[in-house]
Structure 1
């Protein structure tokens, strides 16, 4: 068994959290990587890790029926929330070496770690992320105040503020939440300056 599991942070539900840098530094052979996102998300802007098996959250229990209970399993999703739920399910099924990738593919991409992504997925610049946010949320003062070349921290702070306090007069909150999610995904993969590739 690997040092990765032993050094991961224990959670009350019985699984352990692994930091993205920890996984990047030590990816033991035999580690069972399972991505619990929907199939379309694996080919989305955040991409996926090389060698993952897809098992959407709704199918994890069924897929796990074929795995030995002492297999080291590391679960992955967009942000770490769905994979934490899947990790809890596996512990309930009797798996003993279950891990969750803390922060998911958002954290992995923010650290600019290797990812499998469709060639058509253009990596935006931070300015393009700002422009997308402005186009989707016209007239929102926090968004309008962003500089021409914002930093990752400035964009993240605006997204956090919008998440904490929904702009007044907003009618379609589902669309607003979807916009924040999509822009946060773009921010995770964005790079500073220059033209899109």
Structure 2
């Protein structure tokens, strides 16, 4: 078992990293390009490919491991510690925490400003991905609630998302597609919770 210490680091502490540190994002490509964005200068190395990709890397270069919430990145850090890497940092809370802290993120899926109108559109698109070109997507109340989003409504929004997932499973839709879509919806709600939401 490796004795390498994995240093937890909060988004607000990123400036304390060694200048030579590489930012390694272990999410999937769709997440890397998605709503939560990515840290400037980060490199995409999905967790499933991490061990093969890092074979030629110097073991003493500092590595910051990044994911959506901090769980996969911790798993990645432990794997790398077992491979002899000696300077490992795990981003606590992942990209969710980065967005909550209001730090700069980049990527093609990051809206310039999250608004209730954008939220309704994005959720509508996600729902249509599950159900196809329906004239009226299910769970319309979810979109309507977003026009007056407030923190106390967070639980009811997540419950609505779970109901949508249950309906999709009952309809026999692919589990992978359901999970991907529901994750996108949860990320969108988290973004709305931590950013200014102007009237649409």
- TM-score, normalised relative to structure 1: 0.70
CA distance in 2, matches of 1:63, 1:177: 26
Say if 2:191 is the partner of 1:189.
yes
- Aligned residue pairs total 181
Specify every segment of 5 or more residues in structure 1 that has no aligned partner in the other structure, as ranges: 1-11
Specify every segment of 5 or more residues in structure 2 that has no aligned partner in the other structure, as ranges: 128-136
What is the match of residue 7 of structure 1? none
What is the match of residue 152 of structure 2? 154
- The superposition leaves residues 130-171 of structure 1 with CA deviations (integer Å, 9 ceiling, x where unpaired) of 676589484598x599474112x2353235556888887661
Alignment of 1:161-172 (within 5 A): 161=159, 171=170
- The superposition leaves residues 103-155 of structure 1 with CA deviations (integer Å, 9 ceiling, x where unpaired) of 211221122210112288454324653676589484598x599474112x235
Alignment of 1:82-161 (within 5 A): 82-118=72-108, 121=111, 123-126=113-116, 128-129=118-119, 136=127, 138=138, 143=142, 146=145, 148-151=147-150, 153-159=151-157, 161=159
CA distance in 2, matches of 1:148, 1:107: 24
3-state SS of 1:17 partner: strand
Alignment of 1:36-115 (within 5 A): 36-115=26-105
Say if 2:19 is the partner of 1:20.
no
CA distance in 2, matches of 1:160, 1:13: 38
- Label 1:96 to 1:77 Cα distance change in 2 as closer, same or farther (>3 A): same
3-state SS of 1:46 partner: coil
Structure with greater helix percent: 2
Q: Note if contact 2:11-2:97 (Cα within 8 Å) is conserved in structure 1.
A: yes
Over aligned residues, Cα RMSD in angstroms?
3.5
